[in-house]
Amino acid sequence: PNKHAVAPSELASYFGKQTCSFLQKIGAFADELQVPVYLVGGLVRDFFLKRPHKDIDLVVEGDGIAFAKQLATAFGGSVRSHESFGTATWANEQDIDIVTCRKEFYLQKGALPTVRPASIYEDLARRDFSINAMAIQINRSSFGNVLDVFQGKQALIDKHIRILHPLSFIEDPTRLFRAVRFGLRLNFSLSSETIHQATKTGAALHHISAKRLRQELDLLANEGVLFEGFRQLADLHVWTTLFGSRFSERAWRHMANLQQHGLNDGMFFLLAGAVDCTRLDVASRYALTKQEKRLVEETSLPVWQQLAPTASLGEAHRDLARISSEIVRFYSEAELPLSPLLRRYAEKRTQFKPLLTGADLLKAGYQPGPVFTQWLLEIECLQLDGHIATKDQALAWIAEKT
């Protein structure tokens, strides 16, 4: 038997008998159409590692969408296709993603590539790491044949993340983030050549779009390794390239606190770095929503310099009421003289229920106007300092004012 083949029984014990015979059925059908078809990518990696897989990804040499439609005609089910990517999802016994083997061209650094149909070898050669660049054929005559041109199996044994060619990171710098993520997930390390190339990525990093960079940070956060990921990316010079200087130990402690206390979000980590390097422009570049842009702006307000660490909660509220509670929490995790106050204030604010609302003032017969906002803020401050505790006391305070 071919030593680069896995036995059907091995596939059956990983996928389950039913899925395995379903794959065999697809393979036999593909034979009739003379379409080579393979399991590919992360799925093959997870199969060899005996880790649970997410979805079933197939690639075909030929038209993936047409093949998906032919499968649906023969076996039933429906097909959702994305013509521009040459991909389709065939929903039958389970969802199966079917992709046309393709070769990619990077016309612009960091941008999405242009694609054209290609052979399985070219398809594997465009991939990120050798552990993700293996395929297992499922056609009947070749069922279980392993295609491993980049020594992916050896990399699994060595526990190495290895790029396929020296310019890989320049071609697509998001691979730096992927490398770190897979390394942390699988407890693998980057091979020394891969580290060497990663640290040379340089200016190409500026071409990663804000959306893609943030997506990568979300993926790290979802796997619970945002802090470790940031650390490793620092070792690969990612942050010095993007921010122009190194993060200080204080910034790292800030990020560790953020992760520990629930602000486990790439945007806050970027903000921590930006505050440390005084490069809010960088954080601003990666803020995706209006709300995030606002967070960045709030980070630089003078209140953080003006507020006295010894202020009461009420006094703090007078300055901080208009600032989003996330930014208060963000700063409460920084190592500032102000932090203990902010921590107490942030905690209070999340549970805070004002005694009075504008509706109460209207009901009490006051004429609405900007003064309402002032009064309500004053009441909140007094309430936070424990000077008033009931709605009647609040109304009495206002009556005295007028």
Binding residues for ligand ATP, rule: CB under 6 A, are: 41-42, 54, 127-128, 132-133, 172, 174-175, 178
Burial degree of 182 (CB within 10 A; 0-12, 13-18, 19+) = buried
Range list of β-strands (E), 46-180: 56-60, 78-82, 87-91, 95-100, 102-105, 114-117, 135-137, 146-147, 160-161
Q: In what helix (H) or strand (E) does residue 189 lie, and over which residues does it extend?
A: strand 189-190
CB of 185 vs ligand ATP, minimal distance in Å = 8
Q: What are the residues facing 100 on neighbouring strands?
A: 60
- Which CB atom, from 28 or from 186, has the smaller least distance to ligand ATP? 186
C-beta nearest to ligand ATP: residue:
42
To ligand ATP, the closest distance from the beta carbon of 181 in angstroms equals 7
Q: How far is the CB of 67 from ligand ATP (least distance, A)?
A: 19
To the nearest 10°, the Cα dihedral for 374, 379, 381, 384? -160
Look up residue 201 and give its amino acid. Answer: T
The CA-atom distances, in angstroms, between 235 and each of 224, 232, 247 are 19, 5, 11
Give the residue with the Cβ less far from ligand ATP, 162 or 175.
175
What is the CB neighbour count within 10 angstroms for residue 22?
A: 18
Cβ proximity to ligand ATP: between 53 and 294 the closer is 53
Residue 330 Cβ vs ligand ATP, minimum distance, rounded to whole Å: 29
The residue (of 197 and 299) whose beta carbon lies closer to ligand ATP is: 197
Kindly state the DSSP code that residue 278 receives in the 8-state scheme. Answer: T
End-to-end Cα separation, the chain, in angstroms: 95
C-beta of 132 vs 139, nearer to ligand ATP: 132
CB of 38 to ligand ATP, least distance (A): 12
CB 356 to ligand ATP: min, Å: 51
CB closer to ligand ATP out of 166 and 386: 166
